Structure 1
């Protein structure tokens, strides 16, 4: 008789052998204040990026501590502490490079790698047990780098890191993690990691500042106009649940084929546009609302002069595609048109645009426009899944500790072309969102989902755009 018992989705408690310890750099490091650029310290980025790795083999915690202390010699700002810049306006941040150390915790969980893989598609609140919670009164009380290694009963381990976003962007975190992995290996034939470039003055505002009037992803006058639809506030007020959809290379190719020959597009452009449309359709927004898609654009080579190799600070700004809901959701050309909007948004992020935005942020009169925006963060092409950590080898899973209303494009270990889309949606909309995410139309009008079912369009897709009340 087959065992039909569903897998346990809640993780058991994590037991700590000792109190967490601070890991300082193994050698003396420069003691100074590190200036953060206006891109680094914007309020939108005042949180930690939380990565989760699963390995079938474990490494002695002492070995991880020692390798971490060595890599922190190069990445010494991560061993410092964030603080408000003295003499500023109370909003400007800097890093006190005091060598205090990263927080390192070691725990044990009565769980196995295969059990975790069975529930790994969608994070839940119990995953937070895998990352030590630092008690503090404010954002400044949390060390820029927090690490927890959790040993499992099967001999495997889960490694979680929380890296302050004000100090590193996605490219920067990947650069740091690969440097740590290099320090943890005993193989001498590995290429040495790129040296980090610490200084952020390359993105200082100009004197005098010069700003352009058009920065569609940002609000120059942050007060929300009366009567405007604020989807972001609505989402924060609702019970949300994670949604996860994996797109194979064939799925993404099917999306791209809907746009040719009129427009050629990248995998990101096609998948971001598809996700944007599914998100808007599932929330049933009023047709006249101006819906936005915000996504990170790497500007390291777009500014002149280019940012130096090894720059691990925030070297991105948000591209913004926007259109009325009715134009995004109606008609057979909607995906094609959305892709064009994403491409146009990317092309608008020029060097002059970046410098203008940095100047605009100097006055603290600007914030990210989240009112009716889906925010997508691209983790899938950063090499995060290729992390090879000493004797543990490569991980069998890489993802996020948590799911949020911001959308993540995650890598799939073992399949470089696949992408997993993770985002939290209101309970009332998640089923509809997942249906639209699985919906693919080919040239003959068929709808194909990831489960392999094929149905011919007959004027309905199982959900109607008027199935529930309009969002207000």
Structure 2
């Protein structure tokens, strides 16, 4: 079990600077689609990369200025819309720039590697905090590069979720890394910034039900999300290697048609619900991000939020009443993905014209998949990261890449301290599954690789 590691303070040799684009960029207002402008996304995604070797600050700042020419909205500032509803946001593409902080920490990459798998509050030191009156006053891109005693570095980025999703983040970071190592070349993918391709229809046409959403005037019978905000949360981490993934797939009874995500998501959702001891009639939901770029035929390099939340739902009883109904849970996840037709996504975009509509978090586990985005492959010229993950942990669940094992996935989620042991127990893969379903070709284990490391937030 990992132990709590309180990081030393960062030393800032110079004040943070603002890095503008290195060449003139369009001065305009950038429309945000309804998928961008959800209140659910009004926060910054905070990524952490740990490298064994560092790149000079000046080199990183120079290539950042260059990449911001193409990714100029990240150098702008969010504001309420001038022409549309004041509840709607837009980007003022003014070329003001991204915040870049240089720091030093008296620690080594090896010392930080193991403990980095479970974020705690002290890790927030690794990202410069911009003092701001509101969410709108925080620049869309904030970066801190921290040099380590061993010659390694930590790169932390905070990217406003209203401007892009995980695919967009990966696209930007790879572009920045490309220009760092190849400063005289052009980008391999040109970002497409216009979100008008995701405009709602006029008039709006909501033709289908959308269980991912609810209206604020409705009061849920059970509100787990609000309750969890009052609890002492504990970060848990579980790594599913190829053997464990195969066992889950076989337990689904349709292994050839079950993806790694579907199997691990179904298992995590079911374990989460079982640990909370909810009433059998309570309806619980699993919300998970699905990329819809191909489904909507969005342009190559589309740089905005190109995902929607699929929703699987079930009564607690139907989800957990039997140890032998895992295949039913997997089918719920598969059906939720299958329901996301182009018509469904367009109807969802139209639904979000109603600003009273919000994501239904009341009894939902939300999963965001970072494990297939290529984030672990970002290389600024001194090698790929030995670790990548979030800066902090919260009640949302992340599926993270495992450096060095493309077939593995790491599940990170914080749960109330009162249910940690139950959750750990349910996340254990029972070896009787393989006996019941003839998984003779799988090595016997009664554990998940690297299972159940826990730490207070």
* Common fold: TM-score over 0.5: yes
Partner Cα distance (2:392, 2:342) in 1: 34
Instruction: Name 2:332's counterpart in structure 1.
Output: 341
**Superposed displacement of residue 241, structure 1:** 1.1
State whether structure 2 residue 85 is matched by structure 1 residue 64.
Answer: no
**Superposed displacement of residue 209, structure 1:** 1.4
Aligned residues of 2:239 and 2:410 also touching (Cα < 8 A): yes
Query: Structure 1's 255 and 244: CA in aligned 2 closer, same or farther, altered over 3 A?
Result: same
Partner Cα distance (1:402, 1:131) in 2: 11
Report matched runs for 1:118-137 at 5 Å: 118-137=114-133
Aligned residues of 2:238 and 2:450 also touching (Cα < 8 A): no
SS for the counterpart of 1:114 is helix
**Superposed displacement of residue 217, structure 1:** 0.6
Instruction: Name 1:156's counterpart in structure 2.
Output: 152
Asked which structure has the greater RCO (Cα within 8 Å, sep 6+), the reply is 2
Partner Cα distance (1:50, 1:452) in 2: 24
Query: Structure 1's 263 and 394: CA in aligned 2 closer, same or farther, altered over 3 A?
Result: closer
SS for the counterpart of 2:167 is helix
SS for the counterpart of 1:22 is strand
Aligned residues of 2:401 and 2:409 also touching (Cα < 8 A): yes
State whether structure 2 residue 264 is matched by structure 1 residue 271.
Answer: yes
Equivalent residue in structure 2 for 1:184, among 144, 165, 180: 180
State whether structure 2 residue 302 is matched by structure 1 residue 314.
Answer: no
Instruction: Name 2:411's counterpart in structure 1.
Output: 421
Partner Cα distance (1:24, 1:369) in 2: 38
Instruction: Name 2:441's counterpart in structure 1.
Output: none
Report matched runs for 1:272-287 at 5 Å: 272-287=265-280
Partner Cα distance (1:287, 1:307) in 2: 42
1:316-350 CA deviation, whole Å, 9 max, x = no partner? 11000000011111213322111100111001111
Equivalent residue in structure 2 for 1:196, among 191, 194, 198: 191
What's the TM-score once normalised by structure 2's chain length? 0.94
Aligned residues of 1:31 and 1:99 also touching (Cα < 8 A): yes
Partner Cα distance (2:357, 2:254) in 1: 39
Report matched runs for 1:28-427 at 5 Å: 28-186=24-182, 192-219=187-214, 221-225=215-219, 228-261=221-254, 264-303=257-296, 306-390=297-381, 392-427=382-417
Instruction: Name 2:420's counterpart in structure 1.
Output: 430
Q: Which shows bigger deviation, 245-254 or 357-366?
A: 357-366
Partner Cα distance (1:380, 1:262) in 2: 20
The runs of 5 or more residues in structure 1 that have no matched partner are: 1-5, 454-472
Query: Structure 1's 451 and 384: CA in aligned 2 closer, same or farther, altered over 3 A?
Result: closer
State whether structure 2 residue 448 is matched by structure 1 residue 450.
Answer: yes
Partner Cα distance (2:183, 2:29) in 1: 35
Q: Which shows bigger deviation, 28-37 or 87-96?
A: 87-96
Partner Cα distance (2:59, 2:254) in 1: 54
1:188-222 CA deviation, whole Å, 9 max, x = no partner? 8x994210000000000111211124001111x32
Aligned residues of 2:101 and 2:128 also touching (Cα < 8 A): yes
What number of residue pairs does the alignment pair up? 442
The runs of 5 or more residues in structure 2 that have no matched partner are: 437-443, 452-457
Partner Cα distance (1:81, 1:230) in 2: 34
* Moved segments of 4+, more than 3 Å: none
Aligned residues of 1:255 and 1:440 also touching (Cα < 8 A): no
Query: Structure 1's 366 and 155: CA in aligned 2 closer, same or farther, altered over 3 A?
Result: same
Query: Structure 1's 274 and 337: CA in aligned 2 closer, same or farther, altered over 3 A?
Result: same
**Superposed displacement of residue 87, structure 1:** 3.9
**Superposed displacement of residue 224, structure 1:** 3.4
